[in-house]
Every structure is written in structure tokens, then in C-alpha cells.
Amino acid sequence: MTLITLVRHGQTDWNLARRIQGSTDIPLNETGRADARTAAGLLADTTHHAIYSSPLVRARETAEIIADELGLDAPHLVRDVREREFGEGEGMLVADYLEQYGDWLAPVPGAETLGAVADRALAAIDAIARDSRRRSAPLAESVIVVAHGGVIRSLIDHVSGGTLPRVGDVLANGSVHRFEASPGSLRLLEHAILV
């Protein structure tokens, strides 16, 4: 069993503007760096053995700040916890995206489906759990994974059978979500929602 704590990256200027980032590599702003330090504070009372991150700069920098605050080694980068590819929707304001496409489930040219995001994220979490067990080999270990709102949302949706997060729930920048991973199984323990 591995405790997986998923952290959403800190704020970027595009988050602030409500612009869709997707795979566009946007850096943290100063508020985002503070979000990372706040997340580290929330994680400080639990032992963590390693930290993993999406390779996108906003997640990687969040993970580096958390690692530094908690005294962990540099984050291991995992491509498949990167944000959803939004295709032609990348860079659009959320309001314009919803006006043009109707909702988040609508097909968008060049975009990844939510199902595809969930599939790759689940495989990545399984691989992270296996890798962390190989590296530290205790009976139970705890790792941090810094990812993106779309990835975390897809995992919560999958493990809750589609009941969470509710429509309109926002996963805040720097929010912390805990899962338990066993071979072939992922279970939600706790999630932070800002409504």
C-alpha cells in the first residue's frame, strides 16, 4: 500500500486570468510560489519518502519548493501526470471556451478526451506506486505527486464512480488530495475542494 498525496500546482497568471493552460508551459507567479509553500506546510506533519511531478514548469517548480521545504530529494518527473491537452482550446479564456464548445466534455479539435486523461493518469499513479515501493521498500510509504487540476479531477471522478467532484467544484491551486494505492487499486481518502 502506498499513500499518494496529489497536490495541484500553484497559481499562474493564466489561472488568474481564467485562461486554459493545458499543455502550454506557463510558470508560477508569486502567489503560486506561496501556494506551494502553503501546501508544504499542510504536508509537514506527515512523513513522505519521495516527490514526483508533471514536467510542466508550473508543477515542477511547485514540487521543487515543496521538496525544499520538506527536505526531500529533487522531484522525479513523470510525463503522464501532465495536464490535459486542450488542442484548439489552449490559451482560450474559460468563458470563451464554454461559449464555443458548450462544456468540458464536448469534442475539441486536437484535445484529449477526459477518459484518455484518466487512463494515462491511472497508469502513471500505478507506476509511481510501484517505483516508490522499489525505491524505499517499507511495508507502507507515502509519496507526493504534483499534478494539474484536470488530472486530479479525472482521478477523483474515476475513484468516486463519477460522484465527485460535483459540477461547479473548483480544485484550488495548492490543494491537497490523498489516495491509497495498492496493486491495481486506487482509493480516495480525502480531497480538498474550494466551492
Q: What is the full DSSP assignment across 125-171? A: HHHHHHHHHHHH--SSEEEEEEE-HHHHHHHHHHHTTT-SSPTT-B-
Q: In this predicted structure, what is the pLDDT of residue 194?
A: 47
Catalytic residue among 48, 49, 61, 83: 83
In a domain, 94, yes or no: no
Strand order through the sheet with 76-77:
76-77, 50-53, 141-147, 2-8, 176-182, 185-191
Q: In this predicted structure, what is the pLDDT of residue 117?
A: 95
In a domain, 95, yes or no: no
Phi, psi of 179 (to 5 degrees): -130, 160
Catalytic residue status for 158: no
Give residue 169's pLDDT band: very low, low, confident or very high (50, 70, 90): confident
Residue 193 in this model has a pLDDT that exceeds 80? no
Region 158-164 average pLDDT: 92
Cell (9 digits) for 122? 491511472
Q: In this predicted structure, what is the pLDDT of residue 134?
A: 73
Catalytic residue status for 190: no
For the full predicted model, state whether its pTM sits above 0.75. Answer: yes
Number of domains in the chain: 1
In a domain, 146, yes or no: yes
What is the residue whose three cell numbers read 506561496?
Answer: 34
Q: Which domain holds residue 54?
A: 2-12+31-86+114-191
What are the residues facing 187 on neighbouring strands?
180
In a domain, 145, yes or no: yes
The domain that holds 158 is classified in CATH as: 3.40.50.1240
In a domain, 137, yes or no: yes
Residue 140 in this model has a pLDDT that exceeds 70? no
Strand 141-147 relative to strand 185-191: parallel, antiparallel, unpaired? Answer: unpaired
Cell (9 digits) for 195? 466551492
Give residue 15's pLDDT band: very low, low, confident or very high (50, 70, 90): very high
Distance of alpha carbon 126 from alpha carbon 183, whole angstroms: 7
In a domain, 75, yes or no: yes
Residue 151 in this model has a pLDDT that exceeds 60? yes
In a domain, 99, yes or no: no
In a domain, 125, yes or no: yes
Contact of 32 with 10, CB cutoff 8 Å: yes
Contact of 60 with 52, CB cutoff 8 Å: no
Region 107-130 average pLDDT: 94
Of residues 187, 182, 178, 192, the one with CA closest to residue 46: 178
